[in-house]
Structure 1
């Protein structure tokens, strides 16, 4: 199953290091118990291991869980290190992360929060 996550309401990154031996049940339990989030919600949950050269993506599509596992051939992800934190990402931040960039891009043009007109 290939799924584009552009329409998913929330994209959560589980910061820090996750034991990548965990499967669907272990990751769903981690989301529920440690971060008090609902793994059955309209959300994607991202996890990375010690080496930061691989990640897992957990998603409930209405009738079951999908688990995507990717190992990079070259390079490493710039995964946030705070073990106790979960972050809600924008689509742009997700692209940056999966392209090996930092979540904070100081030179990127930021969207304005105020309307001029």
Structure 2
């Protein structure tokens, strides 16, 4: 479920380090303090990562309460942005990169080009 986020309208990551011992109420309060508003948005996933980058927590508001998700990788690490302490919205592509162990901000992107008119 967590590798494919098509069921979520928005995916946000809380960059920097988060104490993964936090439960639902502490994570919701963290989102509120960083966003300045309540995290009660249906179909929105908030992701957190601790110092050990092999596990993440996710928080989702459903119509009747919160859903807490936890994922631990058996091998490899998540490439989590550490430099800023903010909430960032991810595109579907960036989320896929994160779940595949890649960075959410690639150093280089292959540019698309127009094909030549005549190839001889």
Q: Give the TM-score category using the shorter length.
A: 0.7 to 0.9
Q: Distance in 2 between matches of 1:38 and 1:26?
A: 13
What are the Cα deviations for residues 26-80 of structure 1, in whole angstroms up to 9, with x where unaligned? Answer: 1001000233243111311000000111000100111111111011111111100
* Structure 2 unaligned blocks of 5 or more: 113-120
- Using the size of structure 1 for normalisation, the TM-score is 0.83
**1:48 aligns to what?**
49
Q: Following the alignment from structure 2 to structure 1, what is the Cα–Cα distance between the partners of residues 37 and 12?
A: 10
**Corresponding residue of 2:33:** 33
5+ unaligned residues in a row in structure 1: which ranges? 111-117
User: Given the two structures, how large is their TM-score scaled by the length of structure 2?
Assistant: 0.81
The structure whose Rg is larger is 2
Does structure 2 retain, via aligned residues, the 8 Å contact 1:58–1:68? yes
1:108 Cα offset (Å): 4.5
Aligned residues of 1:17 and 1:83 also touching (Cα < 8 A): no
Cα displacement string for residues 74-115 of structure 1 (whole angstroms, at most 9, x for unaligned residues): 1111100134221100011001001100112323457xxxxx
| Aligned pairs, number | 109
Any idea what SS the aligned residue of 1:101 has? Answer: coil
1:61 alignment counterpart: 62
Distance 2:33 2:91 in 1: 24
Secondary structure of the corresponding residue to residue 22 of structure 1: coil
Corresponding position of 2:8? 8
- Mapped partners of 1:5, 1:63: distance in 2: 20
In 2, Cα distance between equivalents of 1:104 and 1:46: 16
